Amino acid sequence: MNREQFQKKLETEFQWFHRHPELSYEEYETTRRIRHLLEENKTEILSLPLDTGLVAVIRGDKPGPTVALRSDIDALPVEEESGLAWESEEKGKMHACGHDFHIAALYGAALLLEQRKHKLQGTVKLIFQPAEESSLGALKVIQSGALDDVDAIFGIHSSSGFPVGTVGIRKGSVTAAVDRFEITIQGFGTHAAHPHEGKDPIVAASALVGTLQTIVSRNMDPFSEALLSVTHISAGNTWNVIPESAFLEGTVRTLRSGDRKKIEARLKEAAEYTAKAYGMEAKVRWIAGPPATDNDVEWTEFAEKSARKTGLKVEPALPSLGGEDFAFYQEKVRGVFVQVGTGETYPNHHPKFRVNPAALGGAAEYLSVLGTDALAELKKEGNIP
Ligand code: NI
């Protein structure tokens, strides 16, 4: 298969995945298709306790360490309006985050690595991960044991911030820790005409929204990247009744674990004492999501070098306060999360979002080089952890 045929094949598969989006934990057809393509390629698929998603391995002729390459595979509950010839065939579902691109690129890497098996000094694992949009799919893969023997891991995400042929790489965090909070303020309901006989949770909740906004602006270093948004507030249901309670929820995004802990502590204090100031009590539920991604310094340099070797231009990655459950892998194994330029578009998760499939061949080549060269790098004396 020459370069053009290879690119064409990946585009065909990419379009299939785009036409058949499936939501988190429901990626049965997607998994079936990936399995079929890998079997056709004679790639070994591991038998793991995963309902959706799968992990394949390519074992080199020589024994050695193990490197993992990861693609997520799920889509979003978005009604597509891209107008593309390969638009979604599933109503209300769309690959609006480029995970179809990731699948096709990793499949391309499987094709290349199978051909280059004799050069591999160890094993490359291909992780087709379910449910990234739920923030928890990576944990399923970790629980399956697939990561236990992995020495280094690499993942890609399509990026509209860079043109085709450019990748964004930087050490440290490129996506944020994503936490969620829920606060209930317990008041005491009464007639709106007799406020002194009750405890008005709406007044306390309103004050609390303002107080919460001071956590980032007054308690955090102005140079730290952090945000706190109250995104939902509800209390009461009519005009002449003071309700019993008020409910608020929202999200906190941070890049450093110290900031994350500090905001959690301040949020709990603010809720408790603001409620108290109004003679009430607040209950806080803190729901921790994935931590911030943390690109390893040495592997980041390696990933930059590999990109240049593949003919890709390297730019500093664009950090985002969005989340990525790839961070769970990086808690266990050193690795790098790379942004692959797929050209300008509407933002991720938008009904008109699109990726330029012209970037597929380069992304597949890059992944296969990362796998091959990382094994060689690990084999160098002292590099195996
Ligand atoms: Ni995504």
Nearest residue to 375 (alpha-carbon basis) of 117, 44, 45: 117
Mean pLDDT of the chain: 96
- Two structure tokens written together for 77: 């509950």
DSSP type of residue 188: B
Q: What's the CA gap between 66 and 147, in Å, rounded?
A: 9
Q: How far is the CA of 97 from the centre of ligand 1 (A)?
A: 5
Beta strands in 73-122 (DSSP E): none
Q: How far is the CA of 157 from the centre of ligand 1 (A)?
A: 7
Q: How far is the CA of 293 from the centre of ligand 1 (A)?
A: 13
Q: What's the CA gap between 375 and 383, in Å, rounded?
A: 10
Give the per-residue pLDDT at 383.
Answer: 55
Query: Cβ–Cβ contacts within 10 Å for residue 238, how many?
Result: 7
Over the stretch 324-363, which tens digit does the pLDDT of each residue have? 999 999 999 999 999 999 998 899 999 999 999 999 999 9
Q: How far is the CA of 125 from the centre of ligand 1 (A)?
A: 20
Give the per-residue pLDDT at 283.
Answer: 98
Over the stretch 152-208, which tens digit does the pLDDT of each residue have? 999 999 999 999 999 999 999 999 999 999 999 999 999 999 999 999 999 999 999
Q: How far is the CA of 1 from the centre of ligand 1 (A)?
A: 30
| Global pTM value | 0.92
Q: How far is the CA of 214 from the centre of ligand 1 (A)?
A: 31
State mean pLDDT over 52-63.
95
- State what percent of residues in the chain have pLDDT above 90: 96
Q: What are phi and psi of 243, to 5 degrees?
A: -75, 170
Q: How far is the CA of 284 from the centre of ligand 1 (A)?
A: 29
Over the stretch 4-44, which tens digit does the pLDDT of each residue have? 999 999 999 999 999 999 999 999 999 999 999 999 999 99
Expressed in percent and rounded to 5, the helix, strand and coil fractions of the chain are: 40, 25, 40
Q: How far is the CA of 158 from the centre of ligand 1 (A)?
A: 8
**Distance from the Cα of residue 36 to its chain's centroid:** 26
Over the stretch 157-168, which tens digit does the pLDDT of each residue have? 999 999 999 999
In which band, very low, low, confident or very high, does the pLDDT at 384 lie, cut at 50, 70 and 90? Answer: low
Nearest residue to 29 (alpha-carbon basis) of 114, 95, 126: 95
Q: How far is the CA of 190 from the centre of ligand 1 (A)?
A: 47
The SS3 of residue 129 is: strand
Q: How far is the CA of 259 from the centre of ligand 1 (A)?
A: 24
Q: How far is the CA of 5 from the centre of ligand 1 (A)?
A: 27
Residues 321/52/65/7 CA torsion (nearest 10 deg): -80
Q: How far is the CA of 279 from the centre of ligand 1 (A)?
A: 44
What Å distances lie between residue 289 and 70, 181, 292, 325, 326, CA to CA? 19, 11, 9, 8, 12
The SS3 of residue 147 is: coil
pLDDT exceeds 90 at position 382: no
- Two structure tokens written together for 125: 């694992």
Query: What is the residue type of 19?
Result: R
